[in-house]
Amino acid sequence: MEEPLHWYALKVFYNKVFDIEDLLAGMGVESYIPVQRIQLRGEEHMRVARRLATPDETRSDSKYIRIGPVIYRRQPVVASLLFARTTQEGIRAVQKAVEGKGFVYMSTDWKRPSVIPDKQMAIFRMVTSSGVDGLEFFSDDDMTRYKQGDKVRVLEGPLKGAEGYIRRIRRDRRLLVAIEGFIAVATSFIPSQFLEKVTD
């Protein structure tokens, strides 16, 4: 029987998430970095366009995305956080490969890598890659300052299907989607008519 795939979180040292992303791709391991896309302009656009026009196998260009003539820089929203999807055996290989460059987060008993539920990861990826404006990211520690509200599902718009909690953050009621223990993202205000309460 084939070993199931799970999501795991990695802490990456020295802001080298794109290097680790390339390393994992070489190992055949899927990864995800929550990023913002920043459009390049002027001199920076010209410099990166020249760089992308002359590929070099000794360097990584994975931090850039080209869509037609427009070039974007992928800016990690958390400089040191990366997610990997692999088997239990695969995550042990990842642990060895990233030694000295980062580490895999462990469960609270420190006996095994901490598994992220697929549903949490799918909703988090959907929200963080939606392209909507006004997203704000928080560490898990930051979230203790904000009062938790009702669990809801978004019914309309680009975040349709996302589930999270309504929390009051700086006087605004916002939808908070979290990967518990690691990171949370708060959307901008969503009108209550676009939300329905979820009962577990």
Domains of the chain: 6-116 (3.30.70), 118-197 (2.30.30)
Q: Specify whether the CB–CB gap between 179 and 126 falls below 8 A.
A: no
pLDDT given for residue 180 in this prediction = 83
Q: Specify whether the CB–CB gap between 32 and 10 falls below 8 A.
A: no
Query: What does the pLDDT average to over 48-56?
Result: 88
Query: What does the pLDDT average to over 99-110?
Result: 90
pLDDT given for residue 77 in this prediction = 86
Query: What does the pLDDT average to over 3-29?
Result: 94
Query: What does the pLDDT average to over 169-196?
Result: 86
Closest CA to 145 of 167, 119, 113, 125: 167
pLDDT given for residue 103 in this prediction = 95
Lowest mean pLDDT among 2-6, 17-21, 114-118, 139-143: 139-143
pLDDT given for residue 93 in this prediction = 96
pTM for the predicted model, two decimal places: 0.85
Mean pLDDT: which of 4-13, 51-60, 130-139 is highest? 4-13
- How high is the mean pLDDT of the chain? 89
CB atoms within 10 A of CB 155: 13
pLDDT band at 143, cuts 50/70/90?
low
pLDDT given for residue 199 in this prediction = 81
Query: What does the pLDDT average to over 29-34?
Result: 95
Share of the chain above pLDDT 70, in %: 94
Mention every residue, 6+ apart, whose C-beta is less than 8 A from residue 150: 165, 166, 197
pLDDT given for residue 141 in this prediction = 64
pLDDT given for residue 145 in this prediction = 63
- Alpha carbon distance 159, 21 (integer Å): 26
pLDDT band at 146, cuts 50/70/90?
low
Mention every residue, 6+ apart, whose C-beta is less than 8 A from residue 111: none
Position 132 pLDDT exceeds 90: no
